[in-house]
Structure 1
Amino acid sequence: MKLIILLSILISKIRAWHVIFEIYNRFNIFGFYRSYTINVVSDLGGAADAYCNTYSTDQLRCDARTPKKSHQGGYTVNNLECLASNCHFIINTANINFNIEVNCEKGFDMNPSKGVETKRDYCTFVRNFKLFEDGKVEYADESTYL
Protein backbone atom coordinates (compact mmCIF):
# COMPACT_ATOMS: atom_id res chain seq x y z
CA MET A 1 0.00 0.00 0.00
CA LYS A 2 2.80 2.43 0.88
CA LEU A 3 4.50 1.67 -2.44
CA ILE A 4 1.34 2.57 -4.39
CA ILE A 5 0.98 5.85 -2.49
CA LEU A 6 4.64 6.71 -3.04
CA LEU A 7 4.43 5.96 -6.78
CA SER A 8 1.28 8.04 -7.20
CA ILE A 9 2.91 10.97 -5.39
CA LEU A 10 6.01 10.80 -7.60
CA ILE A 11 3.98 10.51 -10.80
CA SER A 12 1.73 13.44 -9.92
CA LYS A 13 4.43 15.78 -8.61
CA ILE A 14 7.33 15.59 -11.04
CA ARG A 15 7.33 16.46 -14.72
CA ALA A 16 10.52 16.61 -16.78
CA TRP A 17 10.74 19.39 -19.37
CA HIS A 18 13.19 21.11 -21.63
CA VAL A 19 13.21 24.36 -23.53
CA ILE A 20 15.13 25.06 -26.70
CA PHE A 21 15.99 28.77 -26.72
CA GLU A 22 17.29 30.50 -29.86
CA ILE A 23 18.43 34.05 -30.53
CA TYR A 24 19.19 35.36 -34.00
CA ASN A 25 20.84 38.66 -34.89
CA ARG A 26 19.34 39.78 -38.20
CA PHE A 27 19.39 42.70 -40.58
CA ASN A 28 16.72 43.72 -43.07
CA ILE A 29 15.91 46.86 -45.06
CA PHE A 30 14.71 48.57 -41.88
CA GLY A 31 17.89 47.81 -39.93
CA PHE A 32 19.15 45.44 -37.26
CA TYR A 33 16.77 43.36 -35.19
CA ARG A 34 16.98 40.36 -32.90
CA SER A 35 14.54 37.46 -32.84
CA TYR A 36 13.94 35.16 -29.86
CA THR A 37 12.26 31.74 -30.04
CA ILE A 38 11.42 29.21 -27.35
CA ASN A 39 10.18 25.66 -27.88
CA VAL A 40 8.92 24.10 -24.64
CA VAL A 41 8.54 20.30 -24.55
CA SER A 42 7.16 18.18 -21.70
CA ASP A 43 8.01 14.55 -21.00
CA LEU A 44 4.40 13.71 -21.80
CA GLY A 45 4.95 14.73 -25.42
CA GLY A 46 3.30 18.14 -25.55
CA ALA A 47 5.11 21.09 -27.12
CA ALA A 48 4.46 24.83 -27.41
CA ASP A 49 6.37 27.59 -29.21
CA ALA A 50 6.57 31.32 -28.60
CA TYR A 51 8.65 34.04 -30.22
CA CYS A 52 9.17 37.78 -30.38
CA ASN A 53 11.25 40.22 -32.42
CA THR A 54 12.89 43.52 -31.49
CA TYR A 55 11.56 45.41 -34.52
CA SER A 56 11.56 49.18 -34.02
CA THR A 57 13.43 49.17 -30.74
CA ASP A 58 17.01 50.06 -29.90
CA GLN A 59 16.92 48.34 -26.52
CA LEU A 60 16.92 44.71 -27.74
CA ARG A 61 13.70 44.15 -25.82
CA CYS A 62 10.51 42.41 -26.89
CA ASP A 63 7.61 40.46 -25.49
CA ALA A 64 4.81 38.13 -26.58
CA ARG A 65 1.81 38.20 -24.26
CA THR A 66 -0.55 35.87 -26.15
CA PRO A 67 -0.77 32.45 -24.47
CA LYS A 68 0.46 29.59 -26.66
CA LYS A 69 -1.24 26.28 -25.93
CA SER A 70 0.68 23.02 -26.22
CA HIS A 71 -0.39 20.95 -29.20
CA GLN A 72 -1.62 18.15 -26.90
CA GLY A 73 -3.25 20.54 -24.45
CA GLY A 74 -2.52 20.50 -20.76
CA TYR A 75 -0.35 23.62 -20.52
CA THR A 76 0.27 27.03 -22.01
CA VAL A 77 3.34 29.21 -22.41
CA ASN A 78 2.61 32.84 -21.47
CA ASN A 79 4.27 36.24 -21.14
CA LEU A 80 7.53 35.71 -23.01
CA GLU A 81 9.74 38.71 -22.17
CA CYS A 82 13.24 39.06 -23.61
CA LEU A 83 16.08 41.52 -23.14
CA ALA A 84 19.61 41.25 -24.57
CA SER A 85 20.43 37.52 -24.27
CA ASN A 86 17.87 36.60 -21.58
CA CYS A 87 14.22 35.62 -21.66
CA HIS A 88 11.73 34.58 -19.06
CA PHE A 89 8.24 33.17 -19.46
CA ILE A 90 5.49 31.37 -17.57
CA ILE A 91 4.34 27.80 -18.03
CA ASN A 92 0.78 27.40 -16.76
CA THR A 93 -0.40 23.85 -16.10
CA ALA A 94 -3.32 22.80 -13.91
CA ASN A 95 -3.67 26.42 -12.70
CA ILE A 96 -0.08 26.51 -11.42
CA ASN A 97 2.28 29.14 -12.82
CA PHE A 98 5.95 28.24 -13.23
CA ASN A 99 8.41 31.07 -13.91
CA ILE A 100 11.17 29.88 -16.25
CA GLU A 101 14.39 31.72 -17.20
CA VAL A 102 16.73 31.04 -20.11
CA ASN A 103 19.81 32.84 -21.43
CA CYS A 104 22.27 32.47 -24.26
CA GLU A 105 25.72 33.96 -23.78
CA LYS A 106 28.14 31.52 -25.47
CA GLY A 107 30.33 33.41 -27.94
CA PHE A 108 27.35 35.42 -29.09
CA ASP A 109 27.81 38.89 -30.60
CA MET A 110 25.57 41.06 -28.42
CA ASN A 111 26.24 44.27 -30.37
CA PRO A 112 23.65 45.43 -32.86
CA SER A 113 24.80 45.48 -36.44
CA LYS A 114 25.83 48.79 -37.98
CA GLY A 115 25.81 49.45 -41.69
CA VAL A 116 24.43 47.22 -44.40
CA GLU A 117 26.12 43.89 -43.65
CA THR A 118 23.88 40.95 -42.91
CA LYS A 119 24.49 39.73 -39.39
CA ARG A 120 23.13 36.26 -38.85
CA ASP A 121 24.90 35.39 -35.64
CA TYR A 122 22.84 33.06 -33.51
CA CYS A 123 22.85 31.13 -30.27
CA THR A 124 20.91 27.97 -29.39
CA PHE A 125 20.62 26.83 -25.78
CA VAL A 126 18.79 23.81 -24.33
CA ARG A 127 17.77 23.94 -20.67
CA ASN A 128 16.36 20.94 -18.82
CA PHE A 129 14.16 21.35 -15.77
CA LYS A 130 11.54 19.69 -13.58
CA LEU A 131 8.27 21.21 -12.42
CA PHE A 132 6.62 20.31 -9.12
CA GLU A 133 2.99 20.73 -8.10
CA ASP A 134 3.94 23.24 -5.40
CA GLY A 135 5.19 25.64 -8.12
CA LYS A 136 8.88 24.83 -7.62
CA VAL A 137 11.20 24.71 -10.64
CA GLU A 138 14.38 22.63 -10.45
CA TYR A 139 16.91 23.25 -13.22
CA ALA A 140 19.15 20.36 -14.32
CA ASP A 141 22.89 20.72 -14.68
CA GLU A 142 23.04 19.16 -18.13
CA SER A 143 21.76 22.20 -20.05
CA THR A 144 23.81 22.69 -23.21
CA TYR A 145 24.57 25.00 -26.09
CA LEU A 146 24.01 23.68 -29.58
Structure 2
Amino acid sequence: MANYVERLTRGVDANVVYTATRQIAEALSAQREAVLGEISEALATAGVTLPPDLSFDVTEHIEPTLPWDAHQADIDFGNLSTQYAVELVELLVNTQSGMQRFARGIPTVGGRTHIGVLKRGEGFTPLNEPKLQHLHTGYSH
Protein backbone atom coordinates (compact mmCIF):
# COMPACT_ATOMS: atom_id res chain seq x y z
CA MET A 1 0.00 0.00 0.00
CA ALA A 2 1.82 3.09 -1.22
CA ASN A 3 -0.85 5.30 -2.79
CA TYR A 4 -0.05 8.41 -0.71
CA VAL A 5 3.68 7.98 -1.29
CA GLU A 6 3.05 7.58 -5.04
CA ARG A 7 0.98 10.77 -5.08
CA LEU A 8 3.74 12.62 -3.25
CA THR A 9 6.66 11.37 -5.35
CA ARG A 10 5.02 10.80 -8.75
CA GLY A 11 2.10 13.22 -8.61
CA VAL A 12 -0.40 10.39 -9.18
CA ASP A 13 -0.96 6.88 -7.91
CA ALA A 14 -1.69 3.65 -9.78
CA ASN A 15 -5.43 3.86 -9.07
CA VAL A 16 -5.66 7.33 -10.62
CA VAL A 17 -3.68 6.19 -13.69
CA TYR A 18 -5.85 3.09 -14.11
CA THR A 19 -9.15 4.95 -13.68
CA ALA A 20 -8.20 7.85 -15.97
CA THR A 21 -6.80 5.55 -18.67
CA ARG A 22 -9.96 3.43 -18.61
CA GLN A 23 -12.18 6.53 -18.83
CA ILE A 24 -10.11 7.94 -21.72
CA ALA A 25 -10.38 4.63 -23.60
CA GLU A 26 -14.15 4.52 -23.04
CA ALA A 27 -14.53 8.15 -24.18
CA LEU A 28 -12.45 7.51 -27.31
CA SER A 29 -14.50 4.42 -28.12
CA ALA A 30 -17.77 6.33 -27.68
CA GLN A 31 -16.42 9.18 -29.84
CA ARG A 32 -15.33 6.72 -32.55
CA GLU A 33 -18.79 5.10 -32.60
CA ALA A 34 -20.50 8.51 -32.72
CA VAL A 35 -18.32 9.69 -35.63
CA LEU A 36 -19.01 6.49 -37.59
CA GLY A 37 -22.74 6.92 -36.96
CA GLU A 38 -22.66 10.54 -38.12
CA ILE A 39 -20.69 9.66 -41.25
CA SER A 40 -23.12 6.85 -42.08
CA GLU A 41 -26.08 9.18 -41.53
CA ALA A 42 -24.51 11.93 -43.67
CA LEU A 43 -23.83 9.47 -46.50
CA ALA A 44 -27.41 8.17 -46.36
CA THR A 45 -28.79 11.74 -46.32
CA ALA A 46 -26.65 12.61 -49.36
CA GLY A 47 -28.04 9.60 -51.19
CA VAL A 48 -24.74 7.75 -51.35
CA THR A 49 -25.34 4.07 -51.77
CA LEU A 50 -22.72 1.85 -50.23
CA PRO A 51 -22.19 -1.71 -51.41
CA PRO A 52 -24.23 -4.10 -49.24
CA ASP A 53 -21.19 -6.32 -48.57
CA LEU A 54 -19.04 -3.39 -47.36
CA SER A 55 -17.57 -4.14 -43.98
CA PHE A 56 -14.89 -2.37 -41.99
CA ASP A 57 -13.63 -2.21 -38.47
CA VAL A 58 -12.14 0.89 -36.93
CA THR A 59 -9.81 -0.22 -34.21
CA GLU A 60 -7.77 1.67 -31.68
CA HIS A 61 -4.10 1.56 -32.64
CA ILE A 62 -2.71 3.90 -30.01
CA GLU A 63 -3.03 3.29 -26.28
CA PRO A 64 -4.65 6.25 -24.54
CA THR A 65 -2.06 7.73 -22.25
CA LEU A 66 -1.13 10.93 -20.52
CA PRO A 67 2.30 12.22 -19.43
CA TRP A 68 1.99 10.70 -15.95
CA ASP A 69 5.66 11.18 -15.06
CA ALA A 70 5.81 14.83 -16.08
CA HIS A 71 5.29 16.14 -12.55
CA GLN A 72 7.13 13.71 -10.34
CA ALA A 73 9.26 14.88 -7.45
CA ASP A 74 12.78 15.81 -8.51
CA ILE A 75 14.65 13.50 -6.15
CA ASP A 76 18.14 12.36 -7.11
CA PHE A 77 17.75 8.85 -5.68
CA GLY A 78 21.05 7.61 -7.12
CA ASN A 79 23.14 10.22 -5.34
CA LEU A 80 21.58 10.28 -1.88
CA SER A 81 23.92 9.60 1.00
CA THR A 82 22.96 6.58 3.07
CA GLN A 83 21.75 8.82 5.92
CA TYR A 84 19.62 10.90 3.54
CA ALA A 85 18.22 7.71 2.00
CA VAL A 86 17.25 6.50 5.49
CA GLU A 87 15.59 9.84 6.21
CA LEU A 88 13.73 9.72 2.88
CA VAL A 89 12.47 6.22 3.65
CA GLU A 90 11.37 7.41 7.10
CA LEU A 91 9.48 10.28 5.50
CA LEU A 92 7.78 8.08 2.92
CA VAL A 93 6.83 5.30 5.34
CA ASN A 94 5.57 7.77 7.93
CA THR A 95 3.62 9.69 5.27
CA GLN A 96 1.81 6.51 4.20
CA SER A 97 1.30 5.41 7.79
CA GLY A 98 0.14 8.86 8.92
CA MET A 99 -2.38 9.21 6.09
CA GLN A 100 -3.72 5.74 6.86
CA ARG A 101 -4.71 7.06 10.29
CA PHE A 102 -7.27 9.33 8.63
CA ALA A 103 -8.45 7.08 5.80
CA ARG A 104 -11.76 5.26 5.88
CA GLY A 105 -11.63 1.66 6.94
CA ILE A 106 -8.97 -0.33 8.67
CA PRO A 107 -5.41 1.00 8.28
CA THR A 108 -3.19 -1.40 6.34
CA VAL A 109 0.03 0.47 7.15
CA GLY A 110 1.11 1.59 10.58
CA GLY A 111 2.67 0.68 13.87
CA ARG A 112 6.34 0.59 14.72
CA THR A 113 8.60 1.15 11.72
CA HIS A 114 11.78 -0.87 11.24
CA ILE A 115 14.30 0.21 8.62
CA GLY A 116 17.48 -1.51 7.55
CA VAL A 117 20.20 -0.88 4.99
CA LEU A 118 21.32 -3.37 2.36
CA LYS A 119 24.75 -2.56 0.89
CA ARG A 120 26.72 -4.43 -1.70
CA GLY A 121 29.41 -6.48 -0.01
CA GLU A 122 28.14 -5.73 3.50
CA GLY A 123 24.75 -7.45 3.61
CA PHE A 124 21.70 -6.27 5.52
CA THR A 125 22.05 -4.09 8.63
CA PRO A 126 19.03 -3.16 10.73
CA LEU A 127 19.11 0.36 12.11
CA ASN A 128 19.86 1.98 14.68
CA GLU A 129 23.59 1.90 14.59
CA PRO A 130 25.84 4.78 15.61
CA LYS A 131 26.51 6.05 12.07
CA LEU A 132 22.93 6.01 10.82
CA GLN A 133 19.95 7.18 12.79
CA HIS A 134 16.41 5.95 12.42
CA LEU A 135 14.59 8.36 14.71
CA HIS A 136 11.07 8.54 13.38
CA THR A 137 9.66 5.16 14.30
CA GLY A 138 6.08 5.59 13.15
CA TYR A 139 2.64 6.18 14.49
CA SER A 140 0.96 3.96 17.05
CA HIS A 141 -2.59 3.29 15.94
Query: What TM-score, normalized by structure 2, do the two folds share?
Result: 0.22
Q: Comparing both structures, which one devotes a greater share of its residues to helix?
A: 2
Q: Comparing both structures, which one devotes a greater share of its residues to strand?
A: 1
**Which is greater in Rg?**
2
